[in-house]
Amino acid sequence: MRVVLITGAAGDIGAATAEAFGKAGFSLALLDRRDPSLPAGCDGVTLACELEYPEAVAAAFGELEARFGRLDALINIAGINHRAGVRQMQLADWNRMLKVNVGAMFLTAKYGVPLLERGQTPAIVNMASISGYVASADYPAYVTTKAAVESLTWGLAGELGARGIRVNAVAPGWVAAGFTRAALETALDPATLQDAARRAHVLGRMAEPEEIAKAILWLASPKASFVTGETLFVDGGLMRVH
């Protein structure tokens, strides 16, 4: 049975991704800072883990090695957001963003690569965002970390390709879930939000978490066997709207 590790598995996109991999027959290793739950009828393990601490990540991978002995897919979804312009940025908030959104992906790769090398057609998929490309006066830390995720992805692809590990990223637009929905619902009334979402995307709406999960599952599957170092935009055409 193939084994997938999913970080941020307690969030909306993480939970949808866990369900998609579970239905595809994977054993699930689900990580989040609060204990995530296994989807009904799926095999696997859940671990509470503060991903920005190297000791915690090393311990989690120790447990996974003992339990599964290998890893076939590593899916990095965990991420946080912080609202503050550059000129108002507090260094502690900035550092936490860099650690959770980027550092954690470095750490899971650092400890995960030896397990992935024992996997079948192994792959890493990292959560990037269209945010890596846009001018955003309110969220520079988020934009910085999401652009960093893409270069991390490309760097890892170069380093791990010869060892048979593919590394790609998924870049969603607005997802009707998690902190995106929370932020939008705080800022806008429902009618305005719906109108903004319609105007922001060629498809005229936000994505459902399941639509991001499907893209991740495809990139991690042997169907994407010649795809590496790539960012798959799942943004309903957001990047093409002007």
Partner 1 sequence: MGWIAITGGAGGIGRALVRAVQDAGWRAASIDLKENLGADLTLVADVTEEAAVAAALTRIGPVVGLVSIAGIGAHGRVEDFSWADWQRVMAVNVTGAMLSMKHAQMQPGGAIVLTASISAHVATEGSVAYHTSKGAVLGLMRAACGEFAPLGVRVNAVSPGWVDTPFTQQTLGNPADSATASVAAGEKNLLGRMAHPEEVAEAMLFLLSDAASFITGTELVVDGGYMRKH
Give me the 32-71 binding string for partner 1, x by CB under 8 A, dash otherwise: ----------------------x-----------------
For residue 125, the Cα-to-chain-centroid distance in whole angstroms is 7
Beta-carbon contacts of residue 27 (< 8 Å; ≥ 6 apart):
1, 2, 3, 4, 43, 44, 68
Looking at the Cβ atoms of 21 and 111, the one nearer to partner 1 is 111
Residue found under tokens 């639509």 = 211
Q: Least distance from C-beta 217 to partner 1, angstroms?
A: 23
In the chain, the amino acid numbered 41 is: G
Cα–Cα distance for residue pair 65/112, rounded to 1 Å: 9
Residue found under tokens 């969030």 = 11
Question: Catalytic site residue 142?
Answer: yes
Interface with partner 1 includes 22 (CB under 8 A)? no
Q: Least distance from C-beta 206 to partner 1, angstroms?
A: 21
Give me the 71-110 binding string for partner 1, x by CB under 8 A, dash otherwise: --------------xxx-x-x--xx--x---xx--xx-xx
Helices 104-116 and 54-68 sit at what angle, rounded to 10 degrees? 20
Interface with partner 1 includes 233 (CB under 8 A)? no
Q: Least distance from C-beta 82 to partner 1, angstroms?
A: 12
Cα–Cα distance for residue pair 13/176, rounded to 1 Å: 10
Cα–Cα distance for residue pair 8/233, rounded to 1 Å: 20
Looking at the Cβ atoms of 27 and 126, the one nearer to partner 1 is 126
Interface with partner 1 includes 154 (CB under 8 A)? yes
Contact 30, 47 (CB under 8 A): yes
Q: Would you please indicate which residues are annotated as catalytic (active-site) residues?
A: 142
Point out which residues bind partner 1 (CB under 8 A).
54, 85-87, 89, 91, 94-95, 98, 102-103, 106-107, 109-111, 113-114, 132-137, 139-140, 142-152, 154-161, 229
